[in-house]
Each structure stands twice: as C-alpha cells, then as structure tokens.
C-alpha cells in the first residue's frame, strides 16, 4: 500500500504541484490539502483516489505557486491609510515606514479575492491528478512484485519444512512407542499385552498429525493460488495465513518430539515474516 506519485502542471501564470503519498491502513483514509478555491472539487478528487487506490492512508496535496503578475491578494489602501493615521495620533512624529509595517499586519489590511475555478484550467488539473495517481499505482505495483517474490520464496520454504515433517513423522511415532515400552519395562511389572497395545494405540492417536499435515498443505497451495490471482487480496491472504498458523501450532503441540519441534519453530519464523509483509498488501 505504500507509494508516492507527483505531477507538476505549468500554467501561464501559476505552477500547480500535485503529490500523493500512501501508507498502510486497514481501510482508505484520504487527507486532502489544497487552496480554498479548489475545495468545491474535493469530493471529485476523493472519488478518483478511491477508485484506484482502494486502501491505505493517503495524503493528497495540491500546491499553487503564482508565477505571473496576477495575484488574488490585494492591499486595502483605504484601511491601511486609516491605520497609519490612527498610529500617528498615538505616536506623534513616528517613523512612517515602521507604521506601515505595523498597519499591514492588522486585520483587513490585505484582502484575498476568491477566484472562480476556470473549467478549462480544472480539466488540465484533473489530467495532472490522474497522472499522479497513475504514478503511485505504478509505484505500488513495483513494490508488490517484490513482495510477491518474497511470499513465494517463504511459502516454498514452508512446503519444504512440511515435507521434512512428513518424512520425520514415522520416526516420531516409533520414538513415542519406544518411550512408552521402556517406561512400562522400567516399572518391572507384568502387563496385559492386549490391553497395553490398546492403550498404546489410543495414546499414539492423540499425537497423530495426519489431518494437520493435509490441511497445512492445502492452505499453502491456496495461499499461492490467491497470491497469483488478478484481484487485490491482502485481507484474504491474511485470513489464510491465520489458518496456516493454526495448523503449525497444532503440529507443534502434538509433536512431542524435539527434532520436529525445531522444524515447527522454523515454520513459525517464516510465517511471522509473511504476516509482517502482508500488512503492506492491498
């Protein structure tokens, strides 16, 4: 969602600069700054931004720099002269230059005429705004391409770690069985073999992670499928990552096997990095 776009429009008597900056946000939040004469068009500007940027904290700025002789600010000579006259009454024989400096700062000494928006000029400004939006969209797309590569790489790593978990699982089950058999042997009590086998199967089933492995594999595949779609799916990818985390946590809690738990820690680390980057995705 981060991005930047700028467009400059040079008119005969003024230069108009348009800037767009965006940061991460759950929804679209537009902050618009512009001269008062353009406030009537603010709603149109917001609609144009919302159409293309969808989400993010967006700062829109429209700056006007007068380059010609025309200016909307005028000195109110009558008011200034009256101020100077009153100041002379207060300070007899005072410096006129200093009085002028004081008078020009007093209320109503300078008036600002409100210009009507020239339709032809506004059409040019609209094109400049569209250009700035296009630039920020391009900026976002470039950033998105880099993020996509990062996500793909980390999902590949998770797939690789999952394969290691699958390969290790039979060894883990045998380890659980061996520990239980050793524990019974250490008691040095004769046990019913059939009953012991039933209890062993029940105990091992509690640590079975077959369903978690299948679901995790499906979630990883769905993440890549969603990532490669043409739609903006930042929120959806966030939900999928939560499901991935749920399966990884369950595998970790059921594993009861140090080598597998080390793999789970690596998986959690990769997933955490994915979640951090998903905050940047539209």
- The pLDDT score that the predictor gives to residue 191 is 62
Cα separation, 14 vs 20, whole angstroms? 20
Within the chain, all domains assigned CATH 3.30.230 are found at 3-70+118-140
Whole-prediction pTM value? 0.70
User: Per residue in 57-82, is it b (16+ CB within 10 Å) or e — as a string?
Assistant: bbbbebebeeeeeeeeeeeeeebbee
Percent of the chain at pLDDT > 70 equals 85
List, for residues 140-186, the tens digit of each pLDDT value.
999 989 999 999 999 999 999 999 999 998 888 787 777 776 766 66
Helix (H) or strand (E) holding 114: none
The strand pairing partners of 3, in sequence order, are 22
Query: Within the chain, where are the H helices?
Result: 42-53, 77-90, 96-103, 119-187, 193-206, 210-227, 234-255, 258-278
List, for residues 33-89, the tens digit of each pLDDT value.
998 888 889 999 999 999 999 889 999 999 988 776 555 567 777 877 787 788 777
Q: The domain 3-70+118-140 is classified under which CATH number: 2.70.98, 3.30.230, 1.20.120, 3.40.1010?
A: 3.30.230
Phi, psi at residue 262, to the nearest 5°? -65, -40
Q: Which of 73, 81, 75, 74 is nearest to 99 (CA)?
A: 81
List, for residues 16-28, the tens digit of each pLDDT value.
999 999 998 888 9
- The pLDDT score that the predictor gives to residue 116 is 66
């Amino acid at each position: 969602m981060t991005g930047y776009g700028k467009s400059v429009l040079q008119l005969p008597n003024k230069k108009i600069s348009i800037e767009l900056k965006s940061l991460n946000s759950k929804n679209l939040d537009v902050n618009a700054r512009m001269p008062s004469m353009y406030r009537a068009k603010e709603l149109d500007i917001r609609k144009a931004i919302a159409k293309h940027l969808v989400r993010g904290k967006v700062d829109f700025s429209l700056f006007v720099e007068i380059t010609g002789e025309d200016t909307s600010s005028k000195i109110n000579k009558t008011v200034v002269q009256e101020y100077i006259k009153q100041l002379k009454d207060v300070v007899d024989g005072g410096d006129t230059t200093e009085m002028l400096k004081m008078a020009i700062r007093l209320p109503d000494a300078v008036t600002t005429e409100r210009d009507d928006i020239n339709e032809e000029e506004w059409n040019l400004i609209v094109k400049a705004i569209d250009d700035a939006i296009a630039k920020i969209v391009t900026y976002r797309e470039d950033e998105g391409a880099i993020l996509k590569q990062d996500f793909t790489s980390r999902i590949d790593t998770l797939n690789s770690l999952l394969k290691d978990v699958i390969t290790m699982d039979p060894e883990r089950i045998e380890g659980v069985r061996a520990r239980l058999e050793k524990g019974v042997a250490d008691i040095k009590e004769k046990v019913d073999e059939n009953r012991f086998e039933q209890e062993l199967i029940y105990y091992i089933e509690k640590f079975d992670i077959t369903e978690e492995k299948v679901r995790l594999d499906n979630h990883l595949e769905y993440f890549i499928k969603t990532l490669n779609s043409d739609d903006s799916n930042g929120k959806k990818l966030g939900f999928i990552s939560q499901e991935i985390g749920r399966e990884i946590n369950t595998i970790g809690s059921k594993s009861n096997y140090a080598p597998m738990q080390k793999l789970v820690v690596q998986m959690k680390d990769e997933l955490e990095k994915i979640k951090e980057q998903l905050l940047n995705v539209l």
